[in-house]
Each structure stands twice: as C-alpha cells, then as structure tokens.
C-alpha cells in the first residue's frame, strides 16, 4: 500500500525537517505540504490511504477537515505534536511514524528511521581545518558520520571562503546565499534558530546546510561578532525540545585571535592539520596550545592528522 502524508505547517523549517525525517520511515510514501484552498489529489498519486498532520497552533481540526473534504479515499487526521506528553509541545517523528503505521495497518513499506532512539540530546561540534579539501571531507565522512545517524537532523555550517566549501553544495536547491542571509541577520542581532533552518537545504551527503555565500569572502567580511552570534544561535538548536539536532561547524581561514573567541562555544573541538606543521613550525604548536588553554575545562579537544586519514576507515586520534 502506498501511503500519502500531507503536512499542514506554516513554518518552512519545520515542514522541511518533518518531510526529511518521515521519509526515512516511509521511503515509498508521498509526503507533501498542505495549503489553504484544498488539496490536489494529483499531488499524492496512487496513495491508498492519506494521513494528514497539522500544527494545532496554526489550524483547528475543523479547518483541516474542510481542507480535506475533496479527498475520496480513507483519511486520518492528527496533530504533529505528541499527545502522549503532558508537558511541552513535542514533535517526535518516531511517535508520528508509529501512529501512521497503526492507522494504516501496513508495516511492509516502513523501515526504522536512522538514529531512532527514545531520547536525544544534540551537540555542537567544531572542526578547525588546516588541511586540503579532500582530507577535510574524508575526515567528516568517516569520523563524524554518526552525527547524521544520532539525531533527527544534522546541520552543517561551513565558515570559510566560498571556494573552499564542498562542490556538493553547488547542486542543492537554493544552494547559494543562505549563509550570507544568515550572517546578515546575525549582524543585525535579529537571528533566531528558525531562521537558520529556513535558509538551509537538505543535501545529498546527509546534512542540511545553508550552502555557499553570495560572494566568496562574505563569511569574513561580516566580521567575527556575527559569526559568534551565529554559532551561539546554532547551539540553541541542539537543545530545542521540539526538534533537537546535531550541529557541525567547519571553520577555516580565521585568525588565531578569532579562533580563541569561537572555539569555546563548541561542545567538542577538533583540529585537522598535517603533522609536519607541529614539527616544522614551533610557533604553530604554541598557538594551538594557547587556544586549547583558553577553553572551558568541559570542552574536549582532539587532534586529527592528515597522514592518518584513510577514506571510509576510522582511525585513532590523539588528544591534547
């Protein structure tokens, strides 16, 4: 049986997250957005059962019933929030998937969502890279793959020159300008967590990302204070009771004095560099040491050496 899921949610970022997450449970399902003015059955072809999810802060059940009145196949309607909780307004995709399964009485087309767990606390990981792009991406693919599996979603924000960002960003819908718009809001001190998600797009590599800047040096041209604001606001997403996620910040090209200011904002700090830098340039080792000494004691630091990175294989790291 093909399942159709219609989501009535006005917040772009919440709809995007719900669609992405539910697709891991229902890979063959039709997941579309509901809009005022009725539903076009052609948006959900071949569906034998329709499940309508709606935000009860924005719509009433009577409104949703009217919007769905033109659907002539079996339909179920429920709120996106988990009514098994007595406190807070929780969006729990595991709960929603189980509810849809029970209502459809069909489990053959359903698979367990990646990273499914009963509880989750997100975290913000920061990578400071002094390596080639392929070495950096190999590290992220191997050492940090778990971030994409442990949470509903993993947000990746690249803070570097646009020409150093992965080429995979270029193929995304609305892949250019998101980070520029986010930093513009951060510079005006009006940035909110939902803005970051609204300007981000699911990528082919399992992350969601705001992509590349409009101009190559936008990240640096805004200055360090908007960067700090962005990182602090991103961290709020990791503790959002509605939809907690993991965040990975990948930074390159910053002055050491600026790295000192942003490094302590992470839950974990990772350096990636050629081992020869520590051997051939004693000043570099001293500067790395000054960064690690400035960190709060609860922030762990890990050194990764390019010489040890082998694509698709894990490797031991040395902590300092």
Residue 119 lies in a domain: no
- The mean pLDDT of 13-34, rounded to a whole number, is 80
Output 320 or 178, whichever has higher pLDDT. Answer: 178
The pLDDT, as a whole number, for residue 18 is: 83
Indicate whether 157 and 268 sit together in one domain. yes
Beta-sheet pairing, 201-202 with 208-209:
antiparallel
The pLDDT, as a whole number, for residue 184 is: 95
Angle between helices 256-263 and 282-293 (to 10 degrees): 30
Q: Which residues, other chains included, contact 216 with Cβ-Cβ below 8 Å and sequence gap of 6+? A: 161, 162, 163
Indicate whether 224 and 315 sit together in one domain. yes
Residue 176 lies in a domain: yes
Q: Give 158-175 pLDDT, tens digit per residue.
A: 999 999 988 655 444 445
Per the structure, the count of domains in the chain is 2
Residue 118 lies in a domain: no
Q: Does pTM surpass 0.85?
A: no
CATH number of the domain bearing residue 43: 3.40.50
Residue 109 lies in a domain: no
Q: Residue 176 has which token pair?
A: 């250019």
Q: Give 96-149 pLDDT, tens digit per residue.
A: 877 787 776 543 344 444 444 444 578 999 999 999 999 999 999 888 888 876
Other Cβ atoms closer than 10 A to 230: 27
Indicate whether 96 and 130 sit together in one domain. no
Residue 117 lies in a domain: no
Q: Give 223-244 pLDDT, tens digit per residue.
A: 999 999 999 999 988 886 556 6
What does the alpha-carbon distance between residue 196 and residue 127 come to, in Å, rounded to a whole number? 19
What does the alpha-carbon distance between residue 300 and residue 278 come to, in Å, rounded to a whole number? 20
Domain region containing 75 = 3-104
Domain end marker among 42, 71, 104: 104
Indicate whether 15 and 160 sit together in one domain. no
């Amino acid at each position: 049986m093909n399942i159709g899921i219609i989501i009535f949610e006005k917040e772009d970022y919440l709809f995007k997250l719900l669609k992405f997450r539910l697709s891991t449970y229902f890979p063959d399902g039709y997941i579309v957005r509901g809009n005022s003015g009725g539903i076009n059955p052609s948006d959900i072809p071949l569906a034998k059962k329709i499940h309508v999810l709606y935000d009860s802060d924005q719509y009433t059940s009577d409104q949703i019933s009217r919007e769905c009145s033109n659907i002539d196949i079996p339909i179920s309607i429920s709120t996106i929030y988990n009514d098994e909780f007595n406190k807070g307004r929780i969006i729990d995709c595991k709960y929603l998937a189980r509810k849809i399964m029970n209502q459809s009485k069909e489990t053959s087309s359903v698979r367990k969502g990646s990273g499914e767990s009963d509880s989750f606390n997100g975290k913000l990981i920061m990578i400071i890279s002094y390596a080639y792009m392929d070495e950096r991406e190999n590290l992220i693919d191997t050492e940090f793959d778990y971030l994409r599996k442990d949470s509903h979603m993993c947000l990746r924000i690249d803070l570097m020159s646009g020409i150093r960002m992965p080429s995979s960003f270029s193929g995304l819908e609305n892949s250019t300008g998101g980070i520029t718009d986010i930093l513009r809001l951060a510079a005006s001190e009006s940035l909110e967590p939902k803005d970051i998600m609204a300007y981000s797009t699911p990528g082919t590599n399992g992350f969601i990302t705001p992509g590349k800047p409009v101009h190559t040096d936008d990240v640096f041209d805004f200055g360090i204070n908007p960067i700090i604001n962005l990182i602090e606001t991103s961290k709020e997403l990791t503790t959002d009771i509605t939809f907690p996620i993991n965040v990975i910040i990948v930074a390159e090209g910053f002055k050491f004095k600026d790295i000192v200011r942003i490094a302590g904002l992470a839950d974990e700090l990772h350096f990636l560099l050629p081992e020869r830098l520590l051997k051939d340039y004693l000043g570099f080792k001293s500067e790395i040491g000054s960064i690690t000494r400035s960190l709060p004691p609860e922030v762990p630091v890990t050194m990764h050496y390019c010489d040890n990175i082998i694509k698709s294989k894990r490797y031991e790291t040395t902590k300092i």
